[in-house]
Structure 1
Amino acid sequence: MKIKKAEILATAVRENQYPEIGPPEIAFAGKSNVGKSSLINTLVNRKNLARTSGQPGKTQTLNFYNVNDEFRFVDLPGYGYAKVSMKERERWGTMIENYLVNRQTLIEVLQLIDIRHPPGEHDIMMHNWIRSFGYKGLVIATKADKISKGKWMKHMAIIKRDLGIQDNNLIIPFSASKKINKDKVWETLESIIPVE
């Protein structure tokens, strides 16, 4: 995918703040600090389009990005971050749910899971939820550079087992810092996005 244009369109909390209905949207869901913003930056060849932070819970809004005027990426707030209040977590949950349930132009949700750790309770709930809405249940196993390549299969098998995934092709090991499998993620996205 040749990236000619990548820009932030909107940061939203409520539906009336979403950008107007337009091109198809792909959302990125995952725990706080799993690497959603880093994945978006890597895919569009930009360092700071999506703000990254070493501090979990940084993304507290839905962030909409226009790519090539052909489709949009939507960075969802991280889930399962313990250091925010229960009320705040419920607010984020409602924000994410409203978007996933009501946005007509949403065509796929990619879930990010840190390859080093088995999926947690929130990951499993989110995965089941994504699947219940008819999405494929694609998983990007981030931070793949943090373990040796020889251990990838073992860690991916744990993710596959815990999430009840049948198809190996639905899990892609990825590293933003080393650009591992950037092309593979794009291939997967291009098979989903109806671009000319």
Structure 2
Amino acid sequence: MSTTGRRPDAAQNRTRIVEAARAALAESQHVHLNEIAKRAGVGQGTLYRNFSNREALLAEVYRRDVDELVAAATDLLAAHEPGEALRKWLDRVIDYAEVKRGVLAALEPEAWQDLVAHSHNPIEGALGLLLDAAKAAGSIRTDVGARGVLLLIAYLSRVRHDEWEAMARPLMNVIFDGLRRQGADG
């Protein structure tokens, strides 16, 4: 359900609920709706008017993160040189991946498989845009594409939850360093 046509306070409530759920997922995979309602400063009724169940709320968190990640590619390219835009986008991928892990762990396999299937093409397209710009600028190698980079990034899902903070960004740095063209500043 979109926020278009909603009263401003109802749209704000929905946004607060999604943000509270996202924050809770970053902390733990075990998210309870009453805790999310409390964090969002809304009652249970308001939460259920916006999201009929836990799965609907978690799916909305995931979709919003995908939308923000995809939109960030264009925004970053407008504000930074291509290699730096790619680096900043990969940093965002780490944040996205952390929430994605929580959402996928909390959903039934059929529900998360559908979400992932619908998000793959937009994310690959955003990454492709960044890679093409960085290739044209001469800052990354020309022999890799978005699909290959996504396969490398996918291995981050093997990092255990208790190791995420210590390992995710350093591993993403290894991926980025591998993309840089020899002699490029990056």
Between structure 1 and structure 2, the one with the greater Rg is: 2
By percentage of residues, which structure has more helix? 2
By percentage of residues, which structure has more strand? 1
